[in-house]
Amino acid sequence: MEPSEGKYDFDWLERAINLAAKHHIVSVVGTPTAGPPAWLTQKYPDILRVEENGRRATHGNRAQGAASSPHYREFCRRIAEQMAMRFGHNPNVVGWQIDNEYSEMSYDEVTRQEFQDWLKAKYKTLDNLNTHWTTSYWSQTYDNWGQIPIPIGEHNPGLMLEWRRFFTHVWVSYQQNQIDAIRKHAEPRQFITTNFMGFFDGFDHYAVNESLTFASWDDYVGSGHVDAAQNGLTHDLTRGFKRQNFWVIETQPGAVNWSPLNNFLNRGEARAMAWQAIGHGADDVSYWQWRSALNGQEEIHGVLVGPDGTPVPFLDEVSQTAHEFAKVESSFRDTQPLSQVALLGSYDSHWALQFQKHTEKYDDIGLLKSYYSALRQISQSVDVVSAYAPLDGYKLVAAPNLNVLPKDLADHLLAYVRDGGHLVLGPRSGLKDEFNALLPQRQPGFLVDALGARVEQYYALEKDVPVSGAWGNGQVSVWAEQLKSQAPGDEVLLKYGKSNGWLDDQPAVITRAYGKGRITYVGAVLDDKLMATAAAWMTQKSDVTPVFGPVPDGVEVSRRVGPGKEVFVLINYSQENRRVKLPHSMKLVLDGKQGDAVDLPPYGVAVALDNH
């Protein structure tokens, strides 16, 4: 696109767009800024990223440019603007993808100075910063802004959290630089998105998505096969970035080339993946890559067309799915998922837990998945949204990992409960303030009065501990908190059995009515059976009902709702045939007939339309 500085060649790209248009294919144009050319990195080596070890990235991979570099951003702005001038009014270009899979940060001196300036703008005075970070501990006190380092390895928790927030700021402004250049010349009808990587945690995705038209992500399995719960959770996470439908820009085309074992997906598995994406709110499913590159790092990555230009067998499955999409497109138009249950996400809390896990076994994403799997099994639809998102439409809100819980967020959650919502908190909730400092009150911090109870002590567990109570008998592992009731109206739902002496016969789960709603604190990591029982209790107490009705084990049901219609996607992830009874007779749009039941083979899919 830019073979030498200031010389642009878009003719080949326009030929490709025009050729696609002849076959009724519209194009999304991607800016090339994840791959700066060799002349640029050789002539201006300052634009290259510096690794944590102090070495500059070398040319020949990708994402070697420093997103924080003002010099590199200028080159990014220029190429984006030139592209927009050429394609911003092209009727066959429907949108733009900025860069590719944002990820790497630079640790150079310019970035460090930008970080220090950013901290100065936020904290105003060093006294303020020193106070919030308790820098008198271990002689960390700063008396000029230039002393503040980039945290590498273990460091002050306040500094580490702010570095991640600064990382977010860098990607927001890096992206906005290109958005502004494109919008200056492109028609408003052209959307702008980029491709995220699921649970990649380098930056706050809620913040980075604010200026995009919609969110997108890249759906790869790597080694092994699809974990339906994990994949569904990641779809719902991505949908929650902007609380609207999303795109899957890249999907695994059978196999990849970067995993320890690059096995091929089973026949029918990729079709099931594509339909699951649609069921969870995707409006597009695309594949990387179309045809093999003859050389380069991804030359034996999965494809749809081989290096000779003829189809590989996998293209048949993609083609079948595409024809099915075309057949039912009108049924899905203007629809989106609608959930009674939400899970709350917080990058601040995730980072804080990662910085100070206290036990290497603690897995906050695994805990989130545990709640998700159990709750979705019952409700059949779950939103995963920012902890600050509007909550008034949900009957049940679960927050398994709100370790960082400042006053404004606590007030937001309390308003939801007072108005009739049911809030469920997981272990380690409400320990930290917005500066990653310990709150002066016990957990769950500003929510103690509403809960009428507090955490007396937390314990990293060496072995499983028995629990029993209203949810039955089971085991908790990894982490356990000793709760203490402090107010009338508290109900203890689980107690610990014999353990370390401290936990014996102490409350593990407490619930209390508050305002028009309810608040529940789960102070331990429950086993799968207990989690299922807990989810049944949570949904029953919150009056959450399944959106479809009972389905056999291994079958996932998803619903999208639009004006005067509901459309359900049924997928059989078990390795046995399954018969699914519909709530009543519906139109089976893939088969073009009416029915009250469907038979699904392994990886089988059915789409049922219910018009109102």
Residue 373, pLDDT > 90, answer yes
How does residue 37 score in pLDDT terms, banded at 50, 70 and 90? very high
Domain membership flag for residue 148: no
**Residues 454 and 500 both lie in one domain:** yes
pLDDT digits (tens, 9 = 90+) for 312-364: 999 999 999 999 999 999 999 999 999 999 999 999 999 999 999 999 999 99
Task: Look at residue 431 in the predicted model and tell me its pLDDT.
Answer: 98
Nearest to 451 by CA among 402, 421, 484: 484
Range of the domain at 274: 11-106+184-332
Which is more confident, 547 or 407? 407
Amino acid at 602: P
Domain membership flag for residue 125: no
Residue 107: partners with Cβ closer than 8 Å, 6 or more residues away: 49, 50, 51, 52, 54, 150, 152
Give 97's strand partners: 30, 193
Task: Look at residue 191 in the predicted model and tell me its pLDDT.
Answer: 98
Amino acid at 209: N
Task: Look at residue 531 in the predicted model and tell me its pLDDT.
Answer: 98
Kindly write down the DSSP assignment for every residue of 145-170, as one continuous string: GGGPPPP-SS--HHHHHHHHHHHHHH
Domain membership flag for residue 354: yes
Domain membership flag for residue 133: no
Amino acid at 160: M
- Answer positive or negative: Cα dihedral of 161, 163, 166, 171: negative
How does residue 168 score in pLDDT terms, banded at 50, 70 and 90? very high
**Residues 472 and 606 both lie in one domain:** no
pLDDT digits (tens, 9 = 90+) for 215-240: 999 999 999 999 999 999 999 999 99
Domain membership flag for residue 64: yes
pLDDT digits (tens, 9 = 90+) for 241-257: 999 999 999 999 999 99
Contact 353, 401 (CB under 8 A): yes
Count up the domains in the chain and report the number. 3
**Residues 190 and 243 both lie in one domain:** yes
**Residues 203 and 273 both lie in one domain:** yes
pLDDT digits (tens, 9 = 90+) for 466-518: 999 999 999 999 999 999 999 999 999 999 999 999 999 999 999 999 999 99
**Residues 480 and 523 both lie in one domain:** yes
Q: Give the CATH number, domain containing residue 205.
A: 3.20.20.80
Contact 273, 253 (CB under 8 A): no
Question: Which whole number is the average pLDDT over 24-37?
Answer: 97
Domain membership flag for residue 117: no
**Residues 460 and 598 both lie in one domain:** no
**Residues 359 and 445 both lie in one domain:** yes
Domain membership flag for residue 450: yes
Domain end call among 332, 350, 374: 332
Task: Look at residue 503 in the predicted model and tell me its pLDDT.
Answer: 98
Task: Look at residue 313 in the predicted model and tell me its pLDDT.
Answer: 98
Domain membership flag for residue 147: no
**Residues 382 and 439 both lie in one domain:** yes
**Residues 534 and 561 both lie in one domain:** no
Judged by DSSP in three states, 384 sits in strand
**Residues 513 and 572 both lie in one domain:** no
Question: Which whole number is the average pLDDT over 41-58?
Answer: 96
**Residues 324 and 389 both lie in one domain:** no
Q: What is the mean pLDDT of the chain?
A: 97
CA distance 29 to 88: 10
Contact 548, 559 (CB under 8 A): yes
Q: Give the CATH number, domain containing residue 587.
A: 2.60.40.1180
Q: To which residue do tokens 């927050």 refer?
A: 399
CA distance 284 to 282: 6
Domain end call among 332, 357, 377: 332
Task: Look at residue 457 in the predicted model and tell me its pLDDT.
Answer: 98
Contact 565, 609 (CB under 8 A): yes
Contact 66, 106 (CB under 8 A): yes
Q: To which residue do tokens 């580490």 refer?
A: 160
Domain end call among 492, 512, 542: 542
Other residues' Cβ atoms within 10 Å of the Cβ of residue 409: 23
How does residue 178 score in pLDDT terms, banded at 50, 70 and 90? very high
pLDDT digits (tens, 9 = 90+) for 424-483: 999 999 999 999 999 999 999 999 999 999 999 999 999 999 999 999 999 999 999 999
CA distance 386 to 207: 10
Specify the pTM.
0.97
Copy the structure tokens of residue 600.
């699904």
CA distance 71 to 73: 5
416-420 contacts, C-beta under 8 A, 24 or more apart: 416/391, 416/392, 416/517, 417/450, 417/514, 417/515, 417/517, 417/518, 417/519, 418/514, 418/515, 418/516, 418/517, 419/392, 419/515, 419/516, 419/517, 420/515, 420/516, 420/517
Residue 612, pLDDT > 90, answer no
54: DSSP letter: S
**Residues 480 and 597 both lie in one domain:** no
